[in-house]
Amino acid sequence: MNKQDVLDLLKKINYPGFSRDIVSFGMVENITVDGNSVSVVLKITTDKDDKKQAVLEAVNNVLQSTNTFEQIDVTLSEQGHTPPPTQQQQAPAEPSPLEGIEHIVAVASGKGGVGKSTVAANIAVALTQQGHKVGLLDLDIYGPSLPIILGFNENPELTQDKKLVPLNRYGMKVMSFGFISGNDTPAIWRGPMISRMTEQFFQDVIWGELDYLILDLPPGTGDVQLTLSQKLRMSGAVIVTTPQDIALSDVRKGADMFRKVQTPVLGVIENMSGLIIEGQLSGGKDVKIDISGIENVTVDKDGHFKFQVDVFKKGGGATESERLGVPLLGEIPIDKEIMDSTDNGKPLVLSHPDSPVSHVYVKIADRIHTALNS
């Protein structure tokens, strides 16, 4: 028998499940006939091993039935083992983790002005005080607020290979568009910054080793947020909302967006939940304050009083977060000290570490740390 005879024999073998033979499918890659030995190399690009095995057996049987060959060698070619290229191309591109950064945590909100930047800064400071290496990145390119909240504005150094060195403030590495939008910033960073800011802020800033990089996102669930979350592998997101918005689709939209990009929502923070009123009475002893609808108004022996007015419906945060299946990380009241600390450029956790509201921020930071390290 010669090569053509063997080929004719193989034309009688149909591919399993088809009425077409393996030769016309192009599965016979090579045939070598050498005296009484034959070798056939098959190229089968299926990933189904049982079909490959069935073809190998059928070829062996046909060759044996000729009673011509003493040695029969049927093998699969290398290409036959690799999956078809289309399957490889279909694999989705993984968002890249940033080298040296353990956890990237996004602080997001559906609406603007709910206190996102204030929360991000206080959480970052609290994590720093707990001994972690922390970076804080303000991604709000049109309304950067980090320079105000942290009370400083300096131009970051640009290295020879055009990388930015983050600034140091309160023990953290910080970066904001606000630091580089000034006139003396090299043009190389000004122009393309807006369009390529996402990539530059991550790839072209020398963050170094960090336990946490906290992202202060611009408000909304638009393209910026989505692109960002697709480009980076974030460990988690926290959503800041106010009591009157929490029941709206706001939080749900944010939660849905992060779920879409496989970023766990670590929880919701209800900001401006209730109003703290504090004051000082002078004059008589044994004063009692009675305000309708307010319980627990306490006046100490020096006439100092403090109480909370729940401006919006109380408890919305807890019920709503339960309904959405994300924990309520904390409730922060409206507090004049928070506003003052913004004006003074020193986050509350640093300026008033013993205030009850600072304790809430610290507890939120603890919860985030626990959620990401358990």
Ligand X SMILES: Nc1ncnc2c1ncn2[C@@H]1O[C@H](COP(=O)(O)OP(=O)(O)OP(=O)(O)O)[C@@H](O)[C@H]1O
Single out the segment in contact with ligand X by CB under 6 A; choices: 2-10, 109-117, 160-168, 249-257: 109-117
In order of 171, 241, 323, the CA distances from 317 in angstroms are 32, 9, 10
338 binds, among Mg ion, ligand X, none (CB under 5 to 8 A by kind): ligand X
Decide: is 145 part of the binding site for ligand X (CB under 6 A): yes
Of positions 109, 117, 122, 128, contacts Mg ion by CB under 5 A: 117
Binding mask 119-148 for Mg ion (x = CB under 5 A): --------------------------x---
Buried-exposed string 180-219: b where 16+ CB fall within 10 A, e elsewhere: bbeeebeeebeeebeeebbebbbebbebeebbbbbbbbbb
Stretch that binds ligand X, among 66-74, 96-104, 110-118, 125-133 (CB under 6 A): 110-118
Q: Which residues contact 171 (CB under 8 A, 6 or more apart)?
A: 128, 134
Residue 139 interacts with which of Mg ion, ligand X, none, CB < 5 to 8 Å by class: none
Q: Which two tokens stand for residue 15?
A: 């591919």
140 touches ligand X by CB under 6 A: yes
Measured from the Cβ of residue 261, the count of other Cβ atoms closer than 10 Å reads 18
When asked if residue 272 is in the footprint of ligand X (CB under 6 A), the reply is yes
Per rule CB under 6 A, is residue 115 in the interface with ligand X? yes
Q: Which stretch binds ligand X (CB under 6 A): 38-46, 85-93, 258-266, 328-336?
A: 328-336
114 near ligand X, judged by CB under 6 A: yes
Contact indicator for 240, 109 with CB cutoff of 8 Å: yes
Tell me whether residue 116 or residue 132 sits nearer to ligand X (CB atom): 116
Instruction: Annotate 172-219 with DSSP letters as a single string.
Output: EEEEEHHHH-STTS-HHHHHHHHHHHHHHHHHSB---SEEEEEEEPPS
Q: Which residues bind Mg ion (CB under 5 A)?
A: 116-117, 145
